[in-house]
A = this chain, B = another copy of it.
Amino acid sequence: QDKEALYLKSLAATCANCHGTNGRAVEGSSVVSLAGLQKSYLVAQLKAFKSGARPATIMHQLSKGYSDAQIDQIAGYFAAQAK
């Protein structure tokens, strides 16, 4: 895997802690799956968390640490995962 793919994987790894590996959340968990969702939807949610437009428990704080470019990469990564 080239450097870019590894970097992307490390970015998305943080999300796995709550959203499951490759964004497939555990059945019945209160946390939503991310795998296969529309990229534009994911970008919009992350930006809403980041701006505070969407209330959250920790997503607002997590998203603050990502640049818009990273948000785009993360959203693309999960959009590409099989549901």
Contacts and interface: CB of A to CB of B under 8 A. Distances in A.
Nearest to A62: B61
A28 interface: no
Copies of the protein in its oligomer: 2
Contacts of A61: 14, 62, 65-66
Contacts of A65: 61-65
A17 interface: yes
16 contacts: A14-B57, A14-B58, A14-B60, A14-B61, A17-B57, A17-B58, A18-B58, A58-B58, A58-B62, A61-B62, A62-B62, A62-B65, A64-B64, A64-B65, A64-B66, A65-B65
Given A14-B57, A61-B66, A64-B65, 16 more contacts: A14-B58, A14-B60, A14-B61, A17-B57, A17-B58, A18-B58, A58-B58, A58-B62, A61-B62, A61-B65, A62-B62, A62-B65, A63-B65, A64-B64, A64-B66, A65-B65
